[in-house]
Structure 1
Amino acid sequence: MDDGPMGGGGGGGGRQREPADTDALYKVLGVDKKASDSDIKKSFRRLALKKHPDKGGDPEEFKKIQAAYEVLSDPEKREKYDKYGLEGLEGGDMPEGGMDVFDLFFGGGRRRARGGKRKAEDTVYPLKVSLEDLYNGKTAKLAITRSVMKGEPKKCTTCRGQGVVVQMRQIGPGMVQQLQSRCPDCTGGYRVQMKKERQVLEVNVDKGASHNTKLRFSGMGNESPNAEPGDVVFVLQQKEHATFKRKGADLLLQKDISLSEALCGFKFVVRQLDGRQLLVQSKPGQIVRPEVTSGVPYVMCVEGEGMPKHGNPFDKGRLFVLFTIVFPPNYSLGEEQMEMLKTALPPAINDEGYDPETVEEAMLDEIDLNELGKGQGASGDDDDDDDEAGHNGQRVQCAQS
């Protein structure tokens, strides 16, 4: 994931970090680091059947199994974990239901920052941007409100600074269950008064940035006792565009053209996302077909008129144009026009000979396909059943000699 322009984790003070542990989750599932997605899924199912609390398994151990599978079954999260360990997993990467992988495996806080302190949760904001913003880039100043500490934190007497409390619950004769939960009277083992603080952040959206790109501002999030401040993360949300659809670095435009344009060439102007007027035209003699093959639409493209590529905005994708040929409604041709078209176009493919004395003529009319099966006689089967059944629905059998 790319950091925002004002983000950047970085090391500090020349302090050396210990190598990240990238094996723990694989050990929980009992698979090798090179295991395939299928192997990971099979191992999780096997462990889930064996370790589920309903089967007498330990709830905490089962949570670890679930958390490990949530990370390793997602290619993006697995890649982050393989590179950076649990510290590389962001707030949005946590498993469903708010499970905290770092808490589960190491207890206490979420991520450990420099100096061994845990790191407070990230604050995530969606940021809606237009396709024009992603094409041209954009800088915006956004105001956020964060929680900061007022005064010095004091160790909680309820949990004795542990951040969690343990309760014992009897579940049967001679059977006691130990339940661990977050302390209701403190945050992370410390009590402190909090206040709200307003901050204005300058957010830079790079050219070619994509939907769900995360822009990170390190240390600008909420404060928490005995912890490094969290980060503020803006997640780009691309809005629908009236003209273009985007896929990667390519753009798609749907365009209606007439039958004459499909056969004789076309020109039309497209307003590009940077405001340029782009004249799109066919090559001389080029014909637009309704389909390439059955069910496959006919498309053309213009090289270099798609989206800028993130990291190299001077290199752009392609502009795809998907055509729909609009045939003239309620329009008939005269004899002279038909003869001219027959001369200009390829010969007919249905030109078999016939004897006019023996064939019967059948003229076609336009009709909706939904009318198929609704013609006269459609209820004939029901009529036959009624005839066969006789009066009052009683079936009548034919006498046999």
Structure 2
Amino acid sequence: MGKDYYEILGVSKDADEEGIKKAYRKQALKWHPDRNKDQPELANSKFQEIGEAFEVLSDKNKRAVYDQYGEEGLKGGGGSAPSSHSTHTTTNMGGFPAGFNFPGGTSTFFSSTSSMPGSHKGFSPSNADDIFKHFFSSFGSGTGGMGGMDDDEPMPERFSFGGIPRGTSTFRTSQTFPQKSSAIKRSLLISLEDLYTGTTKRLKVTRKTHDSATGQLVMTDKILSIDVKPGWKAGTKIRFPGEGDELDNGEVQDIEFVVEEKEHPVFKRDGDNLGIKIDLNFVEALAGFSRKIQTLDGRTLNISSQAVIQPGQTSRVPNEGMPNSKTGKKGDMIINYDIKFPTELTPAQKEGLQKVFA
């Protein structure tokens, strides 16, 4: 039967172009090898399959052949064509669909002959990493502006935006695509409190520029202001176009800040939820407890229970987690209980427990 590209992307057979793009984005980020270093062979295999499925289903010609003849027919390994001729199609950058525009509004096209089933030549999948880079260079964040490029699934660190990456020899082009120098990247360490409430960060950057009078390279300082939105996550990117170093060719680099979250002594973030550990002694676990917790915005929460708490048990306080930067809604506070059992008991304590629980 061959590969089921629809199943690989998790879409129905009548999925439209937008649905296919969304599905590819989700699956490609999930199975990117940089995110699955504990299972590299599986990740590489899945990542290649996902790229192949997207390359076929996002191209109406390849998709039509696949729908009629399957994977073997598409690749020229089986089936028979209704006629012996080949179809000549014009596709852009490795078979992406029409309208797949690259940064700056430029589309680069090449012509290829796609053999129908029964011919000795058929479809050969492109490199999955190249497909990934081209897709996110066109549709991903990093298109300028100062807003935070928040994403529930941040990019793998080794992939950067700012134009089509060099070295993508898998794709043939009929013209040279303009390359923009990579942005200057800096980490922006932010406390969990500031990510909860939002704040404004003013950062002084030192950059290299050419003096207009002498042409000599000089160092200048500039203050950049970043409005941190409540709920931003680690990996959020804030880009300042044209605020970096001036190069010898006159081009000025962008500066991109990437949010990093400071470790908090009490809370641990998990998406929009906040985890906290409460230690209970043996008596509190059985007879009840009461605690006061200071929230990230300075409020005091009273947490108590008269129920028996089991080892490993958790409880949830609704709407006391992190705000979502897109919806404004808050997650929950997840309380994890750590029960401290006594290391030893006196004979009298043992006797008392036996009387109580007998």
- The TM-score, its normalising length taken from structure 1, stands at 0.48
Question: 1:287: Cα distance to partner?
Answer: 2.0
State the alpha-carbon separation in 1 of the partners of residues 130 and 57 from structure 2. Answer: 15
1:133 counterpart = 2:194? yes
Q: Assess, with a 3 A threshold, how the Cα gap between structure 1 residues 273 and 79 changes in structure 2: closer, same or farther.
A: same
Aligned length: 234
- Match in the other structure for 1:253: 276
Alignment counterpart, residue 100 of structure 1, candidates 146, 156, 166:
166
Q: Distance in 2 between matches of 1:267 and 1:243?
A: 17
What residue is the counterpart of 2:238 in the other structure? 215
For 2:235, what is the secondary structure of its paired residue? coil
Change (3 A) 1:265 1:71: farther
TM-score (norm 2): 0.53
Distance 1:32 1:340, change over 3 A: closer
Of 330, 345, 356, the residue aligned with 2:344 is 330
Provide Cα deviations, 1:229-273, integer angstroms capped at 9, x if missing partner: 332211111121111111111011122211221122211111211
Q: 1:33 aligns with which of 42, 58, 81?
A: 58
Please name the residue that 1:311 is paired with: 326
CA distance in 2, matches of 1:108, 1:73: 17
Equivalent in the alignment of 1:340? 356
* Structure with the greater alpha carbon radius of gyration: 1
2:184–2:254 Cα contact (<8 Å) kept:
yes
Match of 2:138 in 1: 81
**Identity percentage of aligned residues:** 27
Partner of 2:231, secondary structure, is: coil
Q: 1:202-241 residue pairs with structure 2 within 5 A?
A: 202-224=225-247, 229-241=252-264
Matches within 5 A, 1:1-400: 31-33=56-58, 69-73=128-132, 78-79=135-136, 81-82=138-139, 93-94=159-160, 100=166, 107=176, 109-111=178-180, 120-151=181-212, 193-224=216-247, 229-282=252-305, 284=306, 286-290=307-311, 297-313=312-328, 315-332=329-346, 333=349, 335-342=351-358
Q: Aligned partners of 1:79 and 1:209: how far apart in 2?
A: 21
Amino acid at match of 2:186: Y
Letter in 1 for 2:197: N
Task: Return the letter of the residue paired with 1:331.
Answer: L
What is the Cα deviation at residue 223 of structure 1? 2.7
- Tell me the distance in 1 between the aligned counterparts of 2:243 and 2:219: 13
Deviations 1:334-368 (A, max 9, x none): 545532333xxxxxxxxxxxxxxxxxxxxxxxxxx
Which structure 2 residue ranges, 5 or more long, are not aligned? Answer: 1-20, 22-50, 63-70, 76-93, 95-123, 145-154
CA spacing shift, 1:147–1:334, aligned 2, 3 Å:
closer
What whole-Å deviation, never above 9, does each CA across 1:251-308 have from its counterpart, x for those lacking one? 11122211221122211111211122221112x4x22112xxxxxx321111111111
* Conserved 8 A contact 1:140-1:203: yes
User: What residue ranges of structure 1 are gaps of 5+ in the alignment?
Assistant: 1-21, 36-41, 47-60, 112-119, 154-191, 291-296, 343-401
Q: CA shift at 1:136, angstroms?
A: 1.6
Contact in 2 for aligned 1:138/1:205 (Cα 8 Å): yes
The aligned amino acid for 1:320 is: I
Report the AA paired with residue 287 of structure 1: V
Q: Structure 2 vs 1, CA of residues 336 and 140 (structure 1 numbering), >3 Å: closer, same or farther? A: closer
- One-letter identity of the residue aligned with 2:199: K
